[in-house]
Chains A and B, each alone.
Chain A
């Protein structure tokens, strides 16, 4: 850590804002959800510039000194000086983990850290009350909040469960007038909440909503219109209400005076909008680097946008289809120059209704691409392979399983730098004809040795292929394999998939996240418990034989923070074997196992700082059998906003 001038500085070195979730030009700059999770899980990315001179922006923060503001060093009492120095130094700490550690040193450090923390990360919005959070941290500029448990994405959390952002916005509105950035994941955000944001934070710059629900184009219009300094609006996989007769043309609401947009992503806002307004906004935004439009944008319109913004680095291409009737639209060669002129594009996505004839138009940028998301484009291998073969620098690739094992082989042969691969099913049902298999996985493992993240949906898998991946790709940090047929064994040997997953935990020493599937016995969990020492997030479904599996996990995975289990033969005994772990975890979710109210109540009684929620379907009767339990550590106790179908034990 560099020191300032030898005499203590009365004002700390101004700390620039932490960068937005997706760092520029780095390998992890990629597609929607991963950017959010990276920022939230490891908020330790360094500030983009660490200059000692004051930045030109007027946002210099001065500490809340009891002795008055900015007195010269010689006149400040010694302990004041120490606090000033401490605060100056602590400004440099950005990682939450480091900050948490610093705050435990002594009271003085606690106070100094609390005053200098700029980004507040709350992984579970019910773990602490908003009032308490804002009381402790006085100088926050950026907030990351996560709400519902991840299984809410798969319709396992009934509607109305909670995770309302309103009390947070209300508390922050009073406490943080200088708030600049809000990132929310899996929270319910209403139009009123958005209005409150716009009203409470005059310096507001960045809004990122991932997998949220509850708002409509009206709320977006309010944000666009009233947040005069808005730079970033990223809407990723949200469920936007779109009452046909209540649609608001929100894009038109960006004032002409807003010329500072840097990132605008709205592919999930699936309603039509005023294209001319978007074009004008893009034209007056020289800093715009990331633009992801929805499927109402045709190729002709895309071309116009690209002409206005040749400096884009991240482009979501909308429908990628001509709006003219059959054969009447522009030709491929008319589209090529747009891409040829966009020398900065490193990330492409969209292709929501792609017409494969136009794909060759993107060839000029393929050689520069580090991230490519085809996961909403049902293209077959013949369409994809020619594109893939051009993408030598690809580091992140999202695609549908229509790519096939053949297409994955092309990826393996071309993309030796690949770090992240996600293969989604076109047909997400158990009986579908999955088009990728162990063959594709094996090929990838052989060609993409630097792989760090894989999500792979398939119908057929072998232990051999998984073992091969464990050996060929030792850098794996995230391994999520979903064999879609429940409890499916190795397709060749008929054996359980224990050995495959076992070798993953054994050989991939950096593994922090694991999702298992297929036929798995308790043996798999002996491996995971024994070798998965760094695992933080674990997802199980239809796996294991007995409570021993849970026991092995709780005993062995000492770093476990998030455990999600469904439809597995675990009883109260297994649940209770985790008592020693629960305070170290953010949460445990179990549904459709063999738990009872009695067992859950025992957990609740023995762990006072744990909230144990038993969740029913909305009109279900209370029974002794528990279908869904969600337990999490919390300083706030039982929440006051729980619906009728949630019982806190």
Chain B
């Protein structure tokens, strides 16, 4: 959704979105172009191609200014409510909630700072971002990833964990299997994660835990 403080009419047609063309135009927000003043020229976030998911847009730390305590409470709430629901749905209404409250198990509230890394899954249409600091260990992390990505399978119940391998790219650029090193070390070296499916992964997934 574009809120009109930048002249992006010519960019909008080229934006990548997941919806039907034109589906993103809403009448909730009349977007005045004429007369809108730009604060200054340094505003370049709007030029990024937007996915429908807020999680894919560059997040600014600490904005909007809501206390991390409050944010983490909603993560806890969502986790206890969403046990039966398929959390990977793409609906716009639910996704913003998921991007913040990400159906993750309750974790101790991190004391400041966050460590967002991209997570891709083979075959999924878009990536996700997770905050590694929200997890105390590998088990919670895996549960969160399963919750996030299982919706992409046709039938969540038939997913076999050993068909997946969770890997990450470390500081040296190497592809590593998640779980070998202590969690803290993993957190400090992980640059991005990739969930592999199918033949590449078969057998590797079951070695976790």
Contact = CB atoms under 8 A, between A and B. Distances in A.
Q: Do A and B come from one complex?
A: yes
Contacts of A244: 136
Interface string B52-90: 001001011111111111110110110011000000000
B109 interface: yes
B65 A541 contact: yes
Contacts of B96: 427, 429, 431-433
Given A159-B112, A426-B97, A457 B64 contact: yes
B42 A569 contact: yes
B5 A157 contact: no
A216 to B, nearest CB: 9
Contacts of B40: 545, 569
Contacts of B30: 491-492
A519 B67 contact: no
A407 interface: no
A158 interface: yes
Contacts of B68: 153-155, 239
Given A158-B112, A242-B108, A489-B36, A429 B99 contact: yes
Chain A, interface size category, equals: 35 or more
Given A487-B39, A492-B30, A542-B39, A237 B66 contact: no
Contacts of A249: none
Contacts of A152: 112
Contacts of A428: 64, 66, 70-71, 100
Given A154-B63, A457-B64, A493-B32, 11 more contacts: A152-B112, A155-B112, A270-B106, A378-B77, A427-B100, A432-B54, A457-B66, A460-B28, A484-B64, A485-B3, A488-B5
B4 interface: yes
A216 B70 CA distance: 19
A265 interface: no
Contacts of B8: none
B35 interface: yes
A240 B107 CA distance: 11
Interface string A489-526: 10111111000000000000000000000011100000
A146 interface: no
B19 to A, nearest CB: 14
A432 B54 CA distance: 8
Interface in B103-135: 106, 108-114
A474 interface: no
A431 B57 contact: yes
A156 interface: yes
A489 to B, nearest CB: 5
A483 to B, nearest CB: 9
A203 B127 CA distance: 57
B57 to A, nearest CB: 7
Interface of B: 1, 3-5, 28-30, 32-37, 39-40, 42-43, 45, 54, 57, 59-71, 73-74, 76-77, 80-81, 92-93, 96-97, 99-100, 106, 108-114, 136
Interface in A277-305: 295
B32 A494 contact: yes
Given A155-B112, A159-B111, A495-B35, A268 B69 contact: yes
Interface string A416-445: 000000001111111111000000000000
10 contacts: A153-B67, A156-B61, A159-B112, A214-B111, A239-B110, A429-B100, A488-B5, A489-B4, A494-B33, A495-B35
A266 to B, nearest CB: 14
A353 interface: yes
A494 B34 contact: yes
A211 interface: yes
A590 interface: no
A352 interface: yes
A157 B100 contact: no
Contact of B76 (A295, A431, A493, A566): A295
B103 to A, nearest CB: 14
A211 B111 CA distance: 10
Q: Which of A244, A430, A488 has the most CB of B within 10 A?
A: A430
A545 B69 contact: no
A482 interface: yes
B94 to A, nearest CB: 10
A542 B40 CA distance: 10
A151 interface: yes
Contacts of B60: 430, 486, 567
A151 B62 contact: yes
B43 to A, nearest CB: 7
A427 B97 contact: yes
Contacts of A493: 32, 35
Contacts of A566: 62-63
A583 interface: no
Nearest to B62: A154
Residue with the highest number of chain B CB atoms closer than 10 Å, among A353, A432, A545: A432
- 9 nearest interchain CB pairs? A154-B62, A494-B32, A494-B36, A428-B66, A239-B109, A484-B64, A431-B54, A153-B67, A427-B96
Contact of B54 (A211, A430, A569): A430
A262 interface: no
B63 A239 contact: no
A429 B3 contact: no
B126 to A, nearest CB: 15
Contact of A155 (B5, B62, B77): B62
A376 interface: yes
Given A268-B69, A429-B100, A541-B63, A492 B32 contact: yes
A431 B1 CA distance: 7
A478 to B, nearest CB: 15
Given A430-B54, A489-B36, A492-B32, A211 B63 contact: no
Contacts of B63: 154, 430, 484, 486, 541-542, 566-567
A482 B64 contact: yes
A457 to B, nearest CB: 6
B47 to A, nearest CB: 14
A490 to B, nearest CB: 8
B115 to A, nearest CB: 11
B6 to A, nearest CB: 9
Contacts of A268: 69
B121 to A, nearest CB: 22
A157 B110 CA distance: 13
A383 interface: no
A429 B92 CA distance: 13
Contact of B114 (A155, A213, A352, A618): A155
Nearest to B39: A487
Contacts of B62: 151, 154-156, 566
Interface in A134-176: 151-159
A241 interface: yes
Given A519-B5, A569-B40, A494 B112 contact: no
A487 B77 contact: no
A270 B5 contact: no
Nearest to B6: A487
A496 B37 contact: yes
B111 A213 contact: yes
A485 B63 CA distance: 9
Contact of A154 (B34, B37, B59, B65): B65
A165 B92 CA distance: 45
Given A155-B113, A487-B39, A489-B37, A494 B73 contact: no
A159 B32 CA distance: 42
